[in-house]
A and B are shown apart, each in its own frame.
Chain A
Amino acid sequence: MLLGPSLMVSVILFSLGVAGVLFRRNAIVIFMCIELMLNAVNLTFVALAQQLGPEGHAIVFFVMAVAAAEAAVGLAIMIAIYRHKESVNVKEINLLRG
């Protein structure tokens, strides 16, 4: 039975993703850390689906679709920001700070 170990791995991956979002300043790396967190959640769904039936797999499917959409729009925003600032460092993206 791999449920317990899978949830543990998922916890570790999610925490690594959170840590990455918190302590990197490169916006693209922050995006990659968000993908890492989404994958940790997917692992939870798949691990529980082994016992609870294939509905979890359908949810993982949706998560992947949303992640793809998010990556496309997010990276387009990165390109638009880079065009204005010549940088993707989130420290320099402070237009709304006033």
Chain B
Amino acid sequence: MTQLEVVFWIFAATAIVSAFLCITRKSPVASALWLVVTLFSLAAIFVLLDAHFIAAIQVLVYAGAIMVLFLFVIMLLNLGRGGPSDMLGWAGRLVMLAIGLLMAVELWVLSRATPDEGLLMAGEPLQRLTEQHGAVGMISEPLYRTYLVPFELTGMLLLAAIVGALVLAKRRL
């Protein structure tokens, strides 16, 4: 096992264990904090996969902004106490476990399928692109050329989300 793989598995194990803790903790605050650990580990994995810019915005947007929003709402609604468990009973849990395992097996089979040779040859190696354009410049190329219209539409989507959130959460307009 190379050094890269050792580091990868350390962060992968952290991500999986904290994701499991996130879905099993009673208190929503504990869940949110474990989710932050998962998101940070994923950011580290992104760095190992040569996606430096994505890793940076993962920490800024996900672990920063979105999780702060979650914690803010949890504390605003005063849901921090554990209280009675909100999980399903044992029969329900077994059914859900079976469904989850089935899903994992299906996705596992899919993940073992190798992509077409032609597909693998399509792009240039990412490391060379990073050296040529830098980590941000490399993404700007597809973002502002191929996906220019979706990029502009994303702006509209965020505007609609801001207005929608305000209208929903405001008591009286």
B residues apposed to A, CB below 8 Å: 4-5, 8-9, 12, 15-16, 19-20, 22-23, 28, 31-32, 35, 38-39, 42, 45-46, 48-51, 53-54, 57-58, 61-62, 65-66, 69-70, 73-74, 76-77, 79, 86-88, 92-93, 96-97, 99-101, 103-104, 107-108, 110-112, 115, 119-120, 122-126, 129, 138-139, 141-143, 146-147, 150-151, 154, 157-158, 160-162, 164-166, 168-169, 171
Complex contact B158–A68 (CB within 8 A) = yes
Decide if A64 touches B22 in the complex (CB within 8 Å).
Answer: no
Cross-chain contact of A23 among B58, B74, B88 (Cβ < 8 A): B88
Residues from chain B with Cβ under 8 Å of A54 in the complex: 123, 126, 129, 138-139, 141-142
CA of A22 to CA of B62, assembled, Å: 23
Q: Which residue of B lies closest to A7 (CB)?
A: B111
The answer to whether A58 and B119 touch (CB under 8 A), given A39-B62, A47-B49, is: no
Q: Count of A-B contacts with CB under 8 A?
A: 230
Number of interface residues of A (CB under 8 A): 68
Assuming the A-B contacts A24-B23, A36-B22, A64-B61, are A72 and B15 also in contact, with contact meaning beta carbons closer than 8 angstroms in the complex? no
A39–B42 touching, CB < 8 Å: yes
Judge whether B107 and A14 touch: CB under 8 Å. yes
Q: Would you list which residues of chain A between 34 and 81 have a CB under 8 Å from chain B?
A: 35-36, 39, 42-43, 46-55, 57-58, 60-62, 64-73, 75-80
User: B22 to A50, Cβ gap below 8 A?
Assistant: no
**Do B111 and A11 touch across chains, with their CB atoms under 8 A apart?**
yes
